Amino acid sequence: MTTRVLVLEDDDGLRTSLRLVLEDDGFSVVEAGDAEAALHVVSDDRVDLMLVDLMLGGMDGFTFIRRARAHAEAPIVVISAREGVEDIVSALEAGADDYVTKPFDVEEVLARLRALLRRPTLSAAHPGPADDEKRDHGTTRRDVFVLDQANGPLVFDRGGAQLTRGDEPIHLTVTEFRLLSVLTEHSGRVLSRASLLEHVWEGGFFGDERIVDVHVRRLRKKLEQDPSDPSTLVTVRGLGYRLDVR
């Protein structure tokens, strides 16, 4: 199946150039010149990836990303002339997975898209009926982690790609799912930012390691009773992060 990419860019020339490059690389492209039109695409149609500019007329890119996350789990790559740390952090906290500053090399953008496609999606992680039948007969093990017994409990079902507190599901983005999967796989061990970049982004992010801090901060809001005083996903100063399963 052809990979479908939404390109949200209000510069007609750049949007057309991106479409031609992406189509030449085998992608199917849907164009949008404003965020409102892009939201219609995301809510009505399947998209596998999104390239999003931040500086748009009308609704800005930050708002689009937050609203798009209600409809789609597809990875989002920001392409923007805004290169300040605050802009990058704000975009990632809104729900973006990667950030490329303008002007950019199209080969770098393509490399990042390919890297994102190599990561499993949440829907792909959901087991099908055949998998359920195998589990019923004891031939397949399902990875289930109780992260916090006292509050909820908080349970991460990695095989089913679900995080729940009690009976309430907690939405995870693809990056948060990957991050939590790696942390649970190595629970009790300290993982450096570089190690998390290698495992979660699989070499597809070429920027600042602080992208890890942003996604950890987002994940903590979903795991912790008090994100400012974490007890499950903790920082080991100078070394990295550790997931403590209680």
Per-residue confidence (pLDDT) for residue 141, from 0 to 100: 39
Mean pLDDT confidence for 63-80:
90
Domain 4-118 matches domain 126-243 at the CATH topology level: no
Q: Which residue has the higher pLDDT, 51 or 132?
A: 51
Q: Facing residues of 77 across strands?
A: 51, 98
What is the residue extent of each domain of the chain?
A: 4-118, 126-243
User: What's the half-sphere exposure (Cβ side, CA atoms, 13 Å) at 227?
Assistant: 10
Per-residue confidence (pLDDT) for residue 234, from 0 to 100: 94
Q: Facing residues of 80 across strands?
A: 101
> Does residue 57 carry a pLDDT above 90?
no
Q: Facing residues of 191 across strands?
A: 241
Q: Which residues, 6 or more positions from 185, have their beta carbon under 8 angstroms from its beta carbon? A: none
CATH architecture of 126-243: Orthogonal Bundle (1.10)
CA angle at 88 for the pair 244 and 111, rounded to the nearest 5°: 85
Query: How does strand 240-243 pair with strand 233-236?
Result: antiparallel
Counting residues of the chain whose pLDDT is more than 70, the rounded percentage is: 87
pLDDT tier at 125 (50, 70, 90 boundaries)?
A: very low
Per-residue confidence (pLDDT) for residue 173, from 0 to 100: 79
Per-residue confidence (pLDDT) for residue 207, from 0 to 100: 56
What does pLDDT average to over the chain? 83
Q: Work out the burial of residue 157: count CB atoms within 10 Å of its CB; fewer than 13 is exposed, 13-18 middle, 19 or more buried.
A: middle
> Does residue 79 carry a pLDDT above 50?
yes
pLDDT tier at 208 (50, 70, 90 boundaries)?
A: low
Q: Which residue has the higher pLDDT, 149 or 13?
A: 13
Q: Work out the burial of residue 188: count CB atoms within 10 Å of its CB; fewer than 13 is exposed, 13-18 middle, 19 or more buried.
A: exposed
* Contact by Cβ (8 Å): 180, 156: yes
Topology classification of domain 4-118: Rossmann fold (3.40.50)
What confidence tens digit (pLDDT) does each residue in 141-190 have? Answer: 358 888 888 877 899 988 888 899 988 989 887 788 889 999 998 999 99
In 3D, which of 199, 132, 201, 123 has the Cα closest to residue 162? 123
DSSP 69-128: TTT----EEEEES---HHHHHHHHHHT-SEEEESS--HHHHHHHHHHHHHSPPHHHHS--
Q: Which residues, 6 or more positions from 201, have their beta carbon under 8 angstroms from its beta carbon? A: 98, 115, 211
What confidence tens digit (pLDDT) does each residue in 16-52 have? Answer: 999 999 999 999 999 999 999 999 999 888 899 999 9
Per-residue confidence (pLDDT) for residue 107, from 0 to 100: 85
Counting residues of the chain whose pLDDT is more than 90, the rounded percentage is: 42
> Does residue 240 carry a pLDDT above 60?
yes
